[in-house]
């Protein structure tokens, strides 16, 4: 009888232990599930500080209402945002225009998709030496970035100002300085500087004209509409986009992000914030 009772007691202990372990496991699993749910609501987007990250900050509360926690990761260069996206460190990036995006995808074999165009930032040429392009001297030096996708953009601005022409049949979007046909003022071009250094180049008065991407100009306190000597026209194809890995193009979170960026509330805010020098688009 004692042996039988002892056996029952042992069985009860074992059974209790199994139930206890099972209960602990269930609790752990529940905790993991809760953590996974929390992680799934986070959307990490890489962006340049201005205007991209500033725009995303305005989008945060809109996405929060949609159940998406937007985390903004700021970058100060043009290489890491795409590299980090390819490696899965971020879910999307918002810093680059379409020609740069296309060039990066081609050169690096990135499996990326354009999730939507958001705005256009006008490229400007700035000077410490002249206020009017008519005062540009013969043999003047123009410094541009080493980003080849911007060269055609700059050449287009110069051609619109009757300062250069390109050879027949050249696509301006992909033009290089070797494609310049006529250069009556004998302009000299230096294009070996990283884009993020151009504002320093301008402040140091290192050339007659310095071509600066708008996001870096804003960060340095320059307004393209007011401070540039030359500014590209409104029909620019250089739309800034949200880029994602191709597999995530139809993601619910990405769609919510793009919809929020296209909302009237955000587009109106963009126009007011930058006095019309950042122009929102809706596709």
Residue 109 and residue 247 in one domain:
yes
Q: In this model, does residue 30 exceed pLDDT 50?
A: no
Distant-in-sequence contacts of 279-283, Cβ < 8 A, 24+ apart: 279/119, 279/120, 279/122, 279/234, 280/118, 280/119, 281/117, 281/118, 281/119, 281/120, 281/239, 283/116, 283/117
Domain membership flag for residue 80: yes
The token pair that represents 120 in the structure block: 């256009």
Helix (H/G/I), strand (E/B), else coil: 141: strand
Please state the rounded mean pLDDT for residues 237-256: 96
Q: Would you state the pLDDT for residue 39?
A: 52
Please state the rounded mean pLDDT for residues 265-275: 94
Q: In this model, does residue 205 exceed pLDDT 70?
A: yes
Q: Would you state the pLDDT for residue 71?
A: 98
CA dist 10 and 282 (Å) reads 71
Residue 132 and residue 194 in one domain:
yes
Flag the least confident range among 7-16, 209-218, 261-270.
Answer: 7-16
Please state the rounded mean pLDDT for residues 195-210: 96
Please state the rounded mean pLDDT for residues 162-184: 96
Residue 170 and residue 205 in one domain:
yes
CB 43 within 8 A of CB 63: yes
User: 132's torsion region: left (phi>0), alpha (psi -120 to 50) or beta?
Assistant: beta
Q: In this model, does residue 112 exceed pLDDT 80?
A: yes
Please state the rounded mean pLDDT for residues 261-281: 93
Residue 117 and residue 163 in one domain:
no
What is the domain range of residue 140? 124-231
Flag the least confident range among 15-24, 52-61, 145-154.
Answer: 15-24
The token pair that represents 247 in the structure block: 């597999």
CA dist 203 and 221 (Å) reads 11
User: 223's torsion region: left (phi>0), alpha (psi -120 to 50) or beta?
Assistant: beta
Which residue carries 């070996």 as its tokens? 192
Residue 221 and residue 155 in one domain:
yes
What global pTM score does this model have? 0.76
Q: In this model, does residue 272 exceed pLDDT 80?
A: yes
The token pair that represents 155 in the structure block: 């050449």
Q: Would you state the pLDDT for residue 261?
A: 98
How distant is the alpha carbon of residue 209 from its chain centre? 25
Q: Would you state the pLDDT for residue 13?
A: 41
- The tally of domains found in the chain comes to 2
What is the CATH classification number for the domain harbouring 171?
3.40.190.10
Domain membership flag for residue 64: yes
Averaged confidence pLDDT in the chain: 88
Residue 148 and residue 208 in one domain:
yes
CA dist 282 and 266 (Å) reads 11
Q: Would you state the pLDDT for residue 186?
A: 98
Q: Would you state the pLDDT for residue 214?
A: 87
Domain membership flag for residue 17: no
Residue 81 and residue 154 in one domain:
no
Q: Would you state the pLDDT for residue 21?
A: 37
CA dist 26 and 32 (Å) reads 10
More confident residue, 33 or 220: 220
232: buried, middle or exposed (CB in 10 Å: 19+, 13-18, 0-12)? buried
Domain boundary, last residue among 213, 231, 249: 231
Please state the rounded mean pLDDT for residues 218-237: 89
Flag the least confident range among 34-38, 188-192, 246-250.
Answer: 34-38
More confident residue, 229 or 29: 229
CA dist 127 and 57 (Å) reads 32
CA angle in degrees (0–180, nearest 5) for 47-50-52: 40
Q: Would you state the pLDDT for residue 32?
A: 43
């Amino acid at each position: 009888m004692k042996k039988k009772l002892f056996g029952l007691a042992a069985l009860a202990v074992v059974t209790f232990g199994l139930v206890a372990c099972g209960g602990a496991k269930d609790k752990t699993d529940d905790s993991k599930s809760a953590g996974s749910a929390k992680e799934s609501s986070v959307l990490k987007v890489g962006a340049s500080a201005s205007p991209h990250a500033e725009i995303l900050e305005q989008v945060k509360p809109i996405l929060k209402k949609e159940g998406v926690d937007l985390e903004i990761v700021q970058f100060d260069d043009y290489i890491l945002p795409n590299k980090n996206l390819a490696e899965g460190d971020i879910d999307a990036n918002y810093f680059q225009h379409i020609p740069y995006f296309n060039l990066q995808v081609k050169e690096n074999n990135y499996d990326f998709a354009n999730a939507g165009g958001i705005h256009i930032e006008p490229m400007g040429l700035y000077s410490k030496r002249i206020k009017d392009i008519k005062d540009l001297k013969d043999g003047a030096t123009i410094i541009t970035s080493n980003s080849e996708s911007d060269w055609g953009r700059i050449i287009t601005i110069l051609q619109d100002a009757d300062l250069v022409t390109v050879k027949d049949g050249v696509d301006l979007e992909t033009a290089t300085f070797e494609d310049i046909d006529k250069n009556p003022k004998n302009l000299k071009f230096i294009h070996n500087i990283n884009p993020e250094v151009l504002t320093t180049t301008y402040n140091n008065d290192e050339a007659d004209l310095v071509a600066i991407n708008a996001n870096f100009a804003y960060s340095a306190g320059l307004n393209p509409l007011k401070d540039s000597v030359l500014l590209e026209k409104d029909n620019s194809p250089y739309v800034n986009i949200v880029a994602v890995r191709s597999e995530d193009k139809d993601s619910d979170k990405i769609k919510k992000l793009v919809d929020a960026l296209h909302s009237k509330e955000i587009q109106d805010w963009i126009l007011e914030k930058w006095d019309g020098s950042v122009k929102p688009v809706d596709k």
